Structure 1
């Protein structure tokens, strides 16, 4: 409870009875007294109560006044009593007034130990035939009873109670009216009437009326107010919302319960705490707050006015930026997570993390930048950054930024100078690629591979040349392209190159067989040209037992006009192109020259010897 609050209570003023002893029912009195309730920083004052809990009373009636203190202040405190500001005898907690007199009327106060004086409570002693008795202090939630009390010696009956000059329809039990639980709307001007019992036919009944009395139903506690600390709440702050109310001094020890609501939804149920704490306030804690205060039984319940609490962002305008823009392969790419701190928290330390396609690429650190020294196509994707405080109680993600890494040059592909390369051709393999329009002056290097083995290292030439392709140059070719620093490197898809034969099927053929000594023999070097080279001129050479017997010429035949035995042997032929770019040798063919058969009988019954081609043994032929 904070601040200073003014409370007012009303009591009747004694009006002397007329000489005839009758009461004027219209007599009204309205003297007012007031007292102040200090802030909760001071000790709780004692409270004076009556037993029986009625005022006013008649002379000669008894009443006990009690000096009530908070339970924590119990003990041998030492009490003192005051009437109309003057000390009166009495040092006990209770002050008993037996057979009250008019002089006992006044405003009573007490002290307990070193406490302040209690607020004054008025005790009226009245001599009227009829008085309206009520508790000296009535608070909302109290069960209020009124008594239409007749002075001893007056025989009265049929009490009627009035509020603001209107009869009250509540049931009457004896002389008491039990109104039940009341709220501040029960405040008003009350009086009662009774008929005097000694009336008859000759003496009509007279009506006795009490004084009008203003009964104030005081607030048990004030309408609560919401207070928030700190005054301006920023994300991450420990926010405390207090439901502030003040109990009536006469009910200072009443237990209250508090509940809190945001946008009409309960965020903390009823408890003895008048505070609702949020250890780390978030933006979603912004809203329209109210609090509710009630007694444990719920007999009195009050709601505060609405308070709008806006949680300020600790940092805001979070966005992701990339440099350069656009990004090309090989560029040094820098992604920046940009944000603005709240003016109230400019020195707050923040941590940053970066994600691509949902996968973390740089963990939390104090750097708000993520750098890629040499951006590659696979670095393309949807980027976001997370920002948090070191404790992690505030964490935010920025909007997504799609970054497309542009190609520095296209994926290379292999091109060959001719669709079909024939053995001996000059074969040129080109590694073809295209530079980005933004990087047309970039220098590139090229390398070539056959069956995975490097055949030409990196150079500025995008061509690999084979002056005279051979069969062994067939294979799976790839090329690789890179920047001079190697920051970007790409490989072509595989291209299979098959070198075709220029000519094929080279073999030795003999004009006839078997060959006999003296025969005219023609040996032919037979071959077939590739259809794509059908007009190509070839040269032929012949060998016997490895020795050249006819040099290269355009003739594919070697002739022996008269074969001799020494012409027998292992023959091969060789075929070449005029430039000697392709040369092939036939398989070896064995040619055997047979002896001439015997036609004349050798005198004396001689014999002829003959050799056969297939048999190396001698055969005997008898002479005819």
Structure 2
């Protein structure tokens, strides 16, 4: 009994010895895994192992075991030591304690700072958010991920870059922005302070109305686009289109754009007029200048008329070819053809058709047509056939500029002879002009003015014609029978050359 009492007195309590030791790092970074390991010379004798931090017990094990800090924080800094209860002698236990080891947990990186560029963004423009921090020098290869927030809601998470670009900001995107930097393992994260971003709105200005096709030139049956744009202006802009001359509102569109289009799918003549547009943002309403819209009408198939009754005329006549497209927008180029050979062309700068004068000095029978072209499209008329023959008259005028001018000849028994200028006057010419279907009598020139002179063997059939001017033909006039004229006294005549106009 005395021996037991002696042993109890001699048992060491809470002693520090080399039997129990502690191993742990002196320094660590946030997020590190820190192992505090206490062990004895013979771990099998440990009955209870206790870990302490700053004098407070933090863990207890009933055998040798290490204490692990899986995700170190600055709060884990402090003095660590451990105690072990072990069997000392037979059934006598003792408690041993290690020395203290100081652990300092360092900051891996400071809280980031959010930078907004530009500082005062305007609507519709891009903005760059930068989340700036700095890793500890000996941990510079640590991967960080970045997240960006507006009013607490994530804009982008797990971004590998410290910069985040927003292509366009609008007024309603104003708010409090922040960012967060985090290690790839999510063991350490820090968020920046909030920065208030106020997105500036630019009022509308410089409203312009343009057309497609340009210049306000629309084409009947085609599409016309009215393009309303602003030189400046952000946010939702309401574009409206109006017709100035009628006061009609054509429509409106609201969108986040500095340009909007209104389509008129099929243009007609009734769409011609003055147009303008307006642009409204908040309380700003700006109107464009008016644009005059003209509707050009492409040519349709023109109509060709020939001034010859029944499409029949005689050699020496003067006819008129009239080509017209009543609706085509000027200017229009009219071209005339005989059997696909061009006769000529005439351009008109106002509405209506055009006439082309053709002198039939030779037999020009055949097919005629015209073509109209106003730059939009070219169209051909239908073909008109014209029959040209010798005149059936018993009188004629030869070698003149047209069949109503020249040396006078008359026909008897199938032979042509001349008329003497004795007594030849305007009454005689008036009858002649009437018989030929020409216009009024103009002159009584000498026949020699229209060379070549008649052949010597060509007879002179009329010596003197005594017309009173009311007869329908020379044959009806009283005549003098004597014949003593030579061809140097042949008579000539000039009548007004009337165009044949059946249309």
TM surpasses 0.5 = no
Name whichever structure is richer in helix by fraction.
Answer: 2
Q: TM-score, normalised by structure 2?
A: 0.41
Q: TM-score, normalised by structure 1?
A: 0.35
Rg (Cα) greater in structure: 1
